[in-house]
Chains A and B, each alone.
Chain A
Amino acid sequence: MKSLNFLKSSFIIRFTLCVGLLYAGQLAAQDGDAANGETLFKNNCASCHNPGDQVVVGPGLKGIQQRRDLAWLVKWVKNPNGVIASGDQYAVDLYNKYGKAQMTAFPSYGEKEVKDILAYVEKYNTAPAVVAVPGGGAAQPAGTTSGPSDLFTYLLVALLIVMLLVLGVLMTIVSVLSKAVTGTEGTQATGETFMERLRGGLTTFAQNKAVRTASVWFFILMATKATLDGMYGIGIQQGYAPKQPISFSHKLHAGQYKIDCNYCHTGVNRGKSAHIPSANICMNCHGVIKKESPEIQKIYAAVEANKPVEWVRVHNLPDLAYFNHAQHVNVGGVQCVQCHGEIEKMEVVQQRSSLTMGWCIDCHRKTEVNTKGNDYYTKLVSLHKTTTKESLKVADIGGLECSKCHY
């Protein structure tokens, strides 16, 4: 036992010594400031490089010192394009391997900055446990706070047991009572007479003239109402949600990723139409993201054939009415959702508003004109105030004039 213990302790001492020496050796080789390196890395490099071995845009930096020497790295960081242009084989291969994406040049960086960053990369890779802990530590409290507390669970279980008990008692009472009732009940004859009585009563009721006339009138009125309702629906396409040639999801783009409507619908504050984005706008992201998806391949095919994607128009305002997006968005300050509904929650876009004339007029009657800080309206507002106490509405400045929309 004693000798074993001794062996164990000596092993531990030797092990710690070894690790200590290794660590010291690394520090001596690096002589870079890892803390400064970390700030430099996170501000400047992290968008394209992972300090481990993951590929983000450029290669992961783990083991970079084994791959290249310091002089080359400094030269590369200062001017990557220059190194590639000089015909350095390694640099050219690197450039081609990572999709010909040029690394940003950091001409102000010298040996010191590069050494600091290398020290951070080394530290990151030698102590992965330290890096992993903050993430795990952060996740744990979040988990406990989101779940229900223990007391709450106990209460729920107790309530459930009580309810089951009550249910059991009720069931026994019902069964006992029903047994007692069937015991005193006579034969089925009474049941039959009841049915016969019911049938007789109903026949006399149906033969009553007043009842017959009333039911016929009821039917006619219902039919008329259904007809009128149906006729009111003519030309109203509310709820129209056609299948599009590409199953583009607004829920994903506008909802999850919060891309502004304006990014794709660029005409919304410039002209009559909000614009359906051309393929080059899709390519701004999908030149890189999800290239292999069959839906996105359809955009690639359209670009290659130089043919626009034929989307199905959802909001079809009749040609007899004029509508201009720019006027409503720029001047009126109307938000997209006010007419189009919560597009950011729609997988397939649906026409939410009725787009009837009544719907337009209703808004023009209710909406106040934003006259603040606009000299154009000063005289108009003072004139308006002499006649009424109501605020200036769109209807007061011509929002109900026929020729504003129909011409």
Chain B
Amino acid sequence: MSALCFVAASMSSCKRGHDSTSWEFAPNMYLPVGYEPYSQVSKNNINADGKNMREPVPGTVSRRNYQTTFGAGDSAVVDLMLYNVPKDSIEIAERVLVNPVPNNEKALVEGKALYGQYCQHCHGEGGEGNGLVAEQYKGVPNYKADAYLNMNDGHIFHVITHGKGRMWPHGSQMTPEERWKIVHYVHKLQKS
């Protein structure tokens, strides 16, 4: 009886703060056995910096499991989308890069969704450079500006990947295929 009282008291009295994870039953079943990149409680003795995450081996190219064939029938193209255009060579990108994603309704719908996720807060819903962040960031151009109207697919792709002017590179956040879909949508915004 007294033991029960004690348990009850200790249970109800430990109104934990927001900083505590409270009681855990059998923590060894909660904590990952394998090396999880985002969950780590103790130092990793294998990696030099003590973290589970490792950087890729220098010189390796990540090969995601993405689509490589686009279009149908005779117009189908195979593109591995492995580009190696340096940041300062936007002219090469303009000349060489070709958008492998066919410009159709599906690509535009996906492009619009991706634009909403990655571009809209700065470039604005209509691409007029009036996004909510742009008010703070300053210098976000209007896609319909005379200097931008004739920019080709390769140019826009290169700008998304490596940034330009005040814009920083966004290549790490999107696959090349996603960037090409955004390119289609940006052209649509310029025409609207």
Within 8 A of B (CB), among A266-290: 266, 273, 276, 278, 280-281, 283-285, 287-289
Query: At the interface, is chain A mostly helix, strand, loop or mixed?
Result: loop
Q: Which 10 A-B pairs have the closest CB atoms?
A: A230-B11, A57-B139, A262-B117, A241-B18, A318-B30, A223-B8, A319-B32, A226-B8, A260-B117, A44-B145
Within 8 A of B (CB), among A233-287: 233-237, 239-243, 256-260, 262-263, 266, 273, 276, 278, 280-281, 283-285, 287
B30–A289 CB distance below 8 A: no
B147–A257 CB distance below 8 A: no
Indicate with 1 or 0, residue by residue over B22-52, a CB within 8 angstroms of chain A CB atoms.
1111000111110011110000000001010
B140–A47 CB distance below 8 A: yes
Indicate with 1 or 0, residue by residue over B65-82, a CB within 8 angstroms of chain A CB atoms.
000000000000000000
| Chain B residue, CB-CB nearest to A261 | B117
Does B1 sit at the interface, judged by CB under 8 A? yes
Does A104 sit at the interface, judged by CB under 8 A? yes
Contact count band on B: 35 or more
Indicate with 1 or 0, residue by residue over B141-182, a CB within 8 angstroms of chain A CB atoms.
110111110000000000000000110111011100000000
B1–A240 CB distance below 8 A: no
Contacts of B146 in A (CB 8 A): 40, 43-44, 106, 108-109
A47–B38 CB distance below 8 A: no
Contacts of A231 in B (CB 8 A): 11
Complex Cα–Cα for A305 and B22 (A): 34
Q: Residues of A with Cβ closer than 8 Å to B?
A: 40, 43-44, 47-48, 56-58, 101-102, 104-109, 220, 223-224, 226-227, 229-231, 233-237, 239-243, 256-260, 262-263, 266, 273, 276, 278, 280-281, 283-285, 287-289, 307-308, 313, 316, 318-320, 348, 350
Q: Residues of B with Cβ closer than 8 Å to A?
A: 1, 4-5, 7-8, 10-12, 14, 18-25, 29-33, 36-39, 49, 51, 53, 116-118, 120-121, 129, 132-134, 136-142, 144-148, 165-166, 168-170, 172-174
Contacts of A287 in B (CB 8 A): 168
Complex Cα–Cα for A260 and B24 (A): 34
| Chain A residue, CB-CB nearest to B32 | A319
Smallest distance from the beta carbon of B41 to chain A beta carbons, Å? 10
15 contacts between A and B (CB under 8 A): A109-B146, A223-B5, A226-B11, A227-B7, A229-B11, A231-B11, A233-B11, A235-B30, A236-B22, A241-B19, A242-B19, A263-B121, A266-B174, A313-B39, A319-B36
Smallest distance from the beta carbon of B178 to chain A beta carbons, Å? 10
Smallest distance from the beta carbon of B120 to chain A beta carbons, Å? 7
Q: Known interface pairs A234-B25, A289-B136, A316-B39. Does A240 touch B147 (Cβ–Cβ under 8 Å)?
A: no
Complex Cα–Cα for A287 and B138 (A): 12
| Chain A residue, CB-CB nearest to B144 | A43
